[in-house]
Structure 1
Amino acid sequence: MTSNLFPSKSLAALALLSLARLSAHAQVEITDPPEGHNFGKVPLNATYATQYFSVFNRGNAAVQLGAVASSGAAVVTCAGLGCPVVAQGDFKIPQGSDGCSNATLQPSQGCSTLVSFSPSAPGSRISQLVVRSRDGASLATYMMHGTGTSQPLDCVLDWAEKTFPQMLTTPTGTATVSPFHARCYANGTLCLGADTAVPTFDQPSVYLYQTQPTPSVQRLGYLATFAEAAQCRP
């Protein structure tokens, strides 16, 4: 009977140890920036949009962190024009700016890692900042948001919305619908965009796409002409 007790004690000890580890892990939080932070509208490939993310150990035991990185895994988004695009590569940790990966956080101790948002395409872009343990388990996550802007198209579209507020209602984010960069209005019944997604021999033009009464595409003129009218600067 004595020999049968040892496995139970060993299992109990392992269970307590696992609970202690989970408890410590559960106390790791990304405390800064506040929830809902957005990198905002940033021109394509610009590198000035940065934000420090702070990781804090609220537990009563030391926690050994593993990698801190941008990840598109398990990010759920909608499907359709104007929906955010999962773009983990647009959210980068600049070299020498990671103060959290592989750090050991004592109770009530924190660290910070700088993240840069550099959009590679127009429209709403999202990814997750994931803080992992040394064994690869996810300890904390933070959803990151930013919007890539295509100049002068986004400037022209912003100007058009202000000029025709009754017609261009409930806009979606700018998105790529090859060969156009477009933004839709009125629940997708009409879209404005320019053929800036692919190189063309002619200069980019602005197009109106309507789904009602029948789908149609109408060229409105050169993008440069609209940019001049809207006083958009490169």
Structure 2
Amino acid sequence: MTPTLFTRKTLATAALLSLACLSAHAQLEITDPAADHNFGKIPLNAEFATQYFSVFNRGGSAVQLGKVISSGAGVSTCAGIGCPVISPTDFLIPAGSDGCSNAVLQPGQGCSTLVSFSPKEPGARISELVIPLSNGAPGTTRIMHGTGVSKPLDCVLDWAEKSFPQLLTTPTGTATVSPFHLRCYANGTMCLGADTAVPTFDQPSVYFYQTQPTPSVQRLGYLSTFAQAAQCQP
């Protein structure tokens, strides 16, 4: 009988601990920004895209938070050109702007932590803001979205879409597929792109890639020429 009683007590203790964790998780709420917040299209390495994320204690007891981080561990995304790339290092918490790490929140109290989106590569980027409890138990999380913009290429691609709307339909997001930065259309049957790493001293060019009827790549001209026609700033 003793082993059975010991097992039951152990299971009961584990259940109570699980309920405590769930209760703590349920009482934390990120109130700002809205769940669908997106940092938008931001030039590579820019530092002006910032947003405060505020969390409140909605429960009846105090909680102590742990270290707030940007993490890709719990993020899932699709596979293919245009799908978001998991990139926690593009979503930074500037020094001196973290008001939540290790904070003790009484019932009804809140705190805010500033996040800066500074993309290092072009295309859709994604990460997760993790606000844990100090004991390592789950706290609350929020998925963060943003898009890195490569100038002048993204401007040229936007201009091309407006100029040829019947040809360049259903675009994917821009993505880097070395050595090109490109955007695909018509369910991936055609793409427009430009050099990201020029192997010669020549300047970047724009290319047209087509998968049907047979895969082919055609050089359309210099990127600078297209940028001038589209009135894009370098």
Match of 1:172 in 2: 172
Match of 2:116 in 1: 116
Residues 198, 204 of structure 2: 8 Å contact kept? no
Tell me the secondary structure at the aligned position of residue 142 of structure 1.
strand
Match of 1:218 in 2: 218
Q: Give, in whole Å, the separation in 2 of the partners of 1:113 and 1:132.
A: 13
**1:1-234 pair list within 5 angstroms:** 16=16, 19-198=19-198, 200-234=200-234
Tell me the secondary structure at the aligned position of residue 77 of structure 2.
coil
- What root-mean-square deviation, in Å, do the aligned CA atoms of Structure 1 and Structure 2 show? 2.2
% identical aligned pairs: 77
Give unmatched runs, 5+ long, in structure 2.
none
Question: Relative to structure 2, which stretch is displaced further, 215-224 or 9-18?
Answer: 9-18
Tell me the secondary structure at the aligned position of residue 132 of structure 2.
strand
Tell me the secondary structure at the aligned position of residue 138 of structure 1.
coil
Instruction: Give the superposition deviation at 1:18.
Output: 5.4
Instruction: Give the superposition deviation at 1:19.
Output: 2.9
Instruction: Give the superposition deviation at 1:8.
Output: 7.8
Give unmatched runs, 5+ long, in structure 1.
none
Q: Give, in whole Å, the separation in 2 of the partners of 1:217 and 1:103.
A: 56
Instruction: Give the superposition deviation at 1:27.
Output: 1.1
Write the deviation string for residues 114-139 of structure 1: whole angstroms up to 9, x where unpaired: 00000000000000001111122221
- Please give the TM-score of this superposition, normalised by the length of structure 2: 0.92
Tell me the secondary structure at the aligned position of residue 34 of structure 1.
coil
Instruction: Give the superposition deviation at 1:197.
Output: 3.7
Question: Relative to structure 2, which stretch is displaced further, 64-73 or 9-18?
Answer: 9-18
Question: Relative to structure 2, which stretch is displaced further, 181-190 or 18-27?
Answer: 18-27
Tell me the secondary structure at the aligned position of residue 96 of structure 2.
coil
Tell me the secondary structure at the aligned position of residue 113 of structure 1.
strand
Q: Give, in whole Å, the separation in 2 of the partners of 1:18 and 1:178.
A: 46
Q: Give, in whole Å, the separation in 2 of the partners of 1:7 and 1:146.
A: 49
Write the deviation string for residues 197-234 of structure 1: whole angstroms up to 9, x where unpaired: 45541100000000001000000000000000000012
Residues 25, 63 of structure 1: 8 Å contact kept? no
Instruction: Give the superposition deviation at 1:46.
Output: 0.2
In the comparison of the two structures, how many residue pairs are matched?
A: 232
Instruction: Give the superposition deviation at 1:23.
Output: 1.1
Question: Relative to structure 2, which stretch is displaced further, 92-101 or 10-19?
Answer: 10-19
The AA in structure 2 aligned to 1:25 is H
Write the deviation string for residues 27-59 of structure 1: whole angstroms up to 9, x where unpaired: 111111011100000000000000000011111
